[in-house]
Structure 1
Amino acid sequence: MTNEKPFKTIDEQIDILNKRGLSTNENSKISLKQFGYYSIVNGYKWLFLSRNTNGKIVKPEQFIKNSTFDDIRKLYDFDKELRSILYKALLEYESNLRAKISYTFCEYHPEESAYLNSSNYNEKINVDSSIKKLKKVIKKYNNKSEDNAIKHYTNHYGQVPLWVLVNFLTFGDINYFYNNIEEQVRIDISKKFSEKYKINYNKSVKIQSISIDAINHMVNDFRNAVAHGDVTYYMHLIKGPSFKSIKKDLSLNDLKVSSQRGIFELVIALKLVLNSECFYELKSNLYNLFDDYENKFYSVSFDTILHDMNFPQNYKCFI
């Protein structure tokens, strides 16, 4: 069987890029050796490829005039720093959500192992899969050889409180749990975020439970990309809850939103749920990142990168 993607040496990789119109130097070889062709070139070449009048990439691929490997590497570095900035904010929200879900659910259902009782979930859906997920996590950590909180509570108390269990769930599990619990519990969780917003920003908002749905969907997908080192700056979400409820909650009547949610929409959404200190740190770090890279690209405008992130020209009016 013929190998359609045979191994290429670093020199052969450089030769391919040169023939496609990309300028390289000795640092290009160092970058390819350190990070690999796939991570840098295949991940970040798209902005620098020639397109036809319909915006489609020309085949066979050809790089735009004056494009350099250094530009691709700079975009790689920019995205790496962007992920680091986002990751801290995403983890902060995740911790907040875990605490509010476990506290509010237990307020309504203080009985032992209430999260394993199907009557404590939304009656309109099949709750079996949600309960199975929780049981699977408990079993997983009970079977581990090393000590952990789940094993401790099981051995000493015969059950695991939800405020302990939530710390062992993935964000996807937390999101799934929030989607399935009773609507009144979901509403009270969103009310707690509204109260937090009032305290932090001295402004009253009424955060809807569907807004938390939308935020959770965005955070889950972007968090996975950030954690796995995927290309993040031009990432867009098509499926999932609408962004319109978040826009309404923040009274952003003048904000035109894309049907595909990108980094800009994620940052706007995080303002609704992060404390002011954490959000202002996120904003400050983003502004500093933009300032650092604004004049670093030779063959493309930095505005093009911001456009790929869904940032409008007047983004500072909204963030």
Structure 2
Amino acid sequence: MHKKEFKSIDQQIDLLQERGLTINDVERAKKYLLSNNYYNIINGYSKPFLESENLYIKNASFDEVSRLYFFDKELKQVLFNSILDAEHHLKSILAHRFAEAHPNNPKAYLDINSYNHKKSLSVAHVISSLNNILRKNRQYRNNSINHYLTNYNAVPIWVIIDYLTFGDLYSFLNCLPDNLQNRVANDCAEFIVSNNPNFTGQFPPKTMLSFIKNIQEIRNVCAHNNRLIYFECRSDTSYFPAIHSHYGITPEDNRRSVYSTFINLQCFVSKVEYAKLHNSIRKKVNTLNNQLKSIDINSILLLLGFPKNWNGCDKKGQQSNNKKRGITIGTHL
């Protein structure tokens, strides 16, 4: 087996130049690689600029690779912030609907009878996770869980909900009985109406859960600072005509991409929150477009699942639709 040997920064620079990558400021590139890791930058973000495994396309530059890395980093930040908004809304809705269904039992989330009996193994895992959260946090003073256990001997759902990870949240929702899942989905439908005023249908819980599952995967990529370009979720989301048909997505199309998750977020965030996300991404795409010289911006958009010419198409055919949905082109709200 061929071993990867350590290379000094100077050797890294020499190798890139031998492969045809233009480096306009060698000293600056050395400092950049020292503080940003050759593996993360070059192995992670130079692939779109390669003609073959060891040869860069004509005029490809180190600056372009580093700017693609920065674009990916900024994209993760804006997506992560929007996902936090979605998480906040989902937790609030779930806590309210669950407490409403169990008004006299603050410990109902620890009772197997509060869940879908057809998912007993998953329910056992959820209850175990919730018990672990209570056990770990009860020892800390000035902690809401400690406060409620000390003073009331029970922690209501609207308190413990903030301690759940996004994965915990998905598992909790997935194990709810059908009637509660429907209530949560109906509440989320208000976000769909906010972003798509013509929507009048239902938001099926199965579709909602498939959206949340892929949002969770994208969230993990963003939170752990992994690479977004080339990333795809493990499964297609359910096909939801109210969203997908609006963007020309058919039941046969891939629905595992970053773009798919981006448009699905409008089912969980407000009109203003989604417009802010949309416009932030557009601004960053346009900035990268101005920085790329050797490749076309569409080659990057396609790696994220975005349609060709996404950063300009709304200015033409879809401009009126975006105005109806409260999306301002190219500006922050």
Is the structural similarity TM-score above 0.5?
A: yes
Question: Cα offset for 1:251?
Answer: 4.8
Question: Cα offset for 1:293?
Answer: 1.6
TM-score after normalising by structure 1: 0.89
Q: Using the alignment, how far apart are the partners of 1:68 and 1:284 within structure 2?
A: 28
Q: Using the alignment, how far apart are the partners of 2:85 and 2:190 within structure 1?
A: 17
Q: Using the alignment, how far apart are the partners of 2:238 and 2:263 within structure 1?
A: 10
Q: For each residue in 1:256-304, what CA deviation from the matched residue of structure 2 results, as whole angstroms up to 9, or x when unmatched?
A: 4632521211121011221100011111111111221212112211111
User: Residue 50 of structure 1 aligns to a residue in which SS?
Assistant: strand
Give the aligned residue type for 1:152: H
Give the aligned residue type for 2:128: K
Question: Cα offset for 1:3?
Answer: 9.5
Identity %: 28
Give the aligned residue type for 1:21: G
Q: Using the alignment, how far apart are the partners of 1:86 and 1:205 within structure 2?
A: 27
Give the aligned residue type for 2:51: S
Q: Which residue of the other structure, out of 89, 96, 100, is the alignment partner of 1:96? A: 89
Partner residue, 1:237: 233
Question: Cα offset for 1:253?
Answer: 7.6
Distance 1:243 1:63, change over 3 A: farther
Question: Cα offset for 1:5?
Answer: 3.0
Q: For each residue in 1:77-100, what CA deviation from the matched residue of structure 2 results, as whole angstroms up to 9, or x when unmatched?
A: 111111121121110000000001
1:115 aligns with 2:114: no
Distance 1:46 1:314, change over 3 A: closer
1:44 aligns with 2:45: yes
Q: Which residue of the other structure, out of 207, 211, 220, is the alignment partner of 2:203? A: 207
Distance 1:285 1:303, change over 3 A: same
Partner residue, 2:29: 28
Give the aligned residue type for 1:299: S
**1:123-202 to 2 correspondences below 5 Å:** 123-126=117-120, 127-144=123-140, 146-198=141-193, 201-202=196-197
Give the number of aligned pairs: 307
Gaps of 5+ in 2: 323-333
1:87 aligns with 2:83: no
Partner residue, 2:330: none
Give the aligned residue type for 2:69: Y
Q: Using the alignment, how far apart are the partners of 1:244 and 1:3 within structure 2?
A: 45
Question: Cα offset for 1:207?
Answer: 1.2
Give the aligned residue type for 2:127: I
Distance 1:232 1:67, change over 3 A: same
Q: Which residue of the other structure, out of 280, 284, 288, is the alignment partner of 2:283? A: 288
Q: Is the 8 A contact 1:236 1:262 kept in 2?
A: yes
Q: Using the alignment, how far apart are the partners of 1:75 and 1:254 within structure 2?
A: 27
Q: Is the 8 A contact 1:49 1:63 kept in 2?
A: yes
Q: Is the 8 A contact 2:99 2:157 kept in 1?
A: yes
TM-score after normalising by structure 2: 0.86
Give the aligned residue type for 2:224: H
Tell me how large the CA RMSD over aligned residues is. 2.1
1:311 aligns with 2:306: yes
Q: Is the 8 A contact 1:238 1:259 kept in 2?
A: no
Q: Is the 8 A contact 2:170 2:212 kept in 1?
A: yes
Question: Cα offset for 1:314?
Answer: 6.1
Give the aligned residue type for 2:109: Y
Question: Cα offset for 1:151?
Answer: 1.0
Partner residue, 1:19: 18
1:216 aligns with 2:212: yes
